[in-house]
Amino acid sequence: MRDIKLIVSDIDGTVLDKEHQLDSRLRADLEKLSQQEIPFCLASARSPLGIHPIQEELGLQAPLVAYNGALIGQFQDQTFDILHDIPIQAQDVERLVYLIEENFPEIAIGIYAGKDWHVAERNQWIDLEANITGEIPILTTFKSFLAEKIPVHKFLLIGEEKDIAHLLAFLQEEDFPETAFYLSKANYLEITNRSVSKAHALEILAAIYGLSLEQTLAFGDHFNDLPMLQAAGIGVAMGNAPQAVQDAADQVTADNSQNGVSLYLENFLLADTL
């Protein structure tokens, strides 16, 4: 086993099972990692406020990676300190808001800036996402929001599947060379800066801790995790990951319903402490 000094892990499908329950042995294992001064950082498409309760449940103080790498930061008491970010180009933010409001008024627009989620109205789609994440959106007008020139890290656009498919096709025909569009669900369209990735976030975290990538280990379960798994010194795919992801990873652990993350940690990093 290499001299691993930093671990970065995806959340959904990795440390959480399909019922959104945490790996039951993970907190105890993370306490042992802490004694060895090995940080364990969570990385997700979620916002910082969507990640923080999981951090607290696991007793983590390390930096987190939000919006699939668009934002790296750390909670200090009640404040959130940004360590690194890759916002969407300001001109693209303004143009996206205009195009969507003008051509797709039925689509719910959520704008994530820093740790906060901004919406222009509450509707069934916004309420659904709020119930899933436990977050409370900030009501605003996008005109006033844009006037503040706040860096935007992600758009989340929600609607009926056919409307989202139409919107995606429309935006892909527009000129947004610095912006990436992807479906996280059939009716969820997410938008970030094209430079965003969990692999880049891993590089930044390694630099923050003064480490090489060879000293890092990453866990993940899906295609968006694959660049991070390949960049890490050791990339570990979950047993529930698609076969192509498992084939490309260095190692494969048990699936997320069988405590795959803690099982790997106990067998390979903590064996001498158990």
In which domain, by residue range, is 57 found?
A: 6-85+196-269
pLDDT over 90 at 78, yes or no: no
3-state SS of 133-156? HCCCCEECCHHHHHHCCCCCCEEE
Q: Is residue 227 part of a domain?
A: yes
Whether 121 and 256 map to the same domain: the answer is: no
Whether 78 and 208 map to the same domain: the answer is: yes
Whether 41 and 176 map to the same domain: the answer is: no
Other residues' Cβ atoms within 10 Å of the Cβ of residue 217: 27
Whether 188 and 107 map to the same domain: the answer is: yes
pLDDT over 70 at 273, yes or no: no
CATH code of the domain containing 113: 3.30.1240.10
Q: Is residue 151 part of a domain?
A: yes
Q: Stretch 165-186: mean pLDDT, rounded?
A: 95
pLDDT over 70 at 255, yes or no: yes
Whether 76 and 95 map to the same domain: the answer is: no
pLDDT on residue 77: 81
**Interatomic CA distance for residues 61 and 272, integer angstroms:** 24
Active site residue 10: yes
Whether 99 and 188 map to the same domain: the answer is: yes
pLDDT on residue 199: 97
Q: Is residue 1 part of a domain?
A: no
The residue whose two tokens read 């990692």 is 33
pLDDT tens-place string over residues 92-131: 999 999 999 999 999 999 999 999 999 999 999 999 999 8
The residue whose two tokens read 């290499």 is 2
Whether 231 and 166 map to the same domain: the answer is: no
pLDDT over 60 at 274, yes or no: no
**DSSP class of residue 87?**
P
Whether 71 and 24 map to the same domain: the answer is: yes
pLDDT over 60 at 144, yes or no: yes
Which of 128, 161, 193 is where one domain is finished?
193
Q: Is residue 185 part of a domain?
A: yes
CATH code of the domain containing 46: 3.40.50.1000
Which of 136, 158, 193 is where one domain is finished?
193
Whether 223 and 185 map to the same domain: the answer is: no
pLDDT over 70 at 235, yes or no: yes
**Interatomic CA distance for residues 46 and 180, integer angstroms:** 17
Q: Where are the alpha helices (DSSP H) in 149-271?
A: 161-172, 198-208, 226-231, 243-248, 260-264
The answer to whether 202 and 4 are in contact (CB under 8 A) is no
Which of 139, 158, 193 is where one domain is finished?
193
pLDDT over 70 at 272, yes or no: no
pLDDT tens-place string over residues 179-220: 999 998 899 999 999 999 999 999 999 999 999 999 999 999
Least confident of 117-121, 133-137, 161-165: 133-137
In this prediction, residue 1 has a pLDDT band, given cuts at 50, 70 and 90, of: low
Whether 77 and 200 map to the same domain: the answer is: yes
pLDDT on residue 20: 87
pLDDT on residue 15: 96
pLDDT on residue 133: 83
* Total count of domains within the chain: 2
How many CA atoms are closer than 13 Å to the CA of 198, on its beta-carbon side? 33
The answer to whether 40 and 9 are in contact (CB under 8 A) is yes
Q: Which of 10, 85, 221, 225 is catalytic?
A: 10
Q: Is residue 274 part of a domain?
A: no
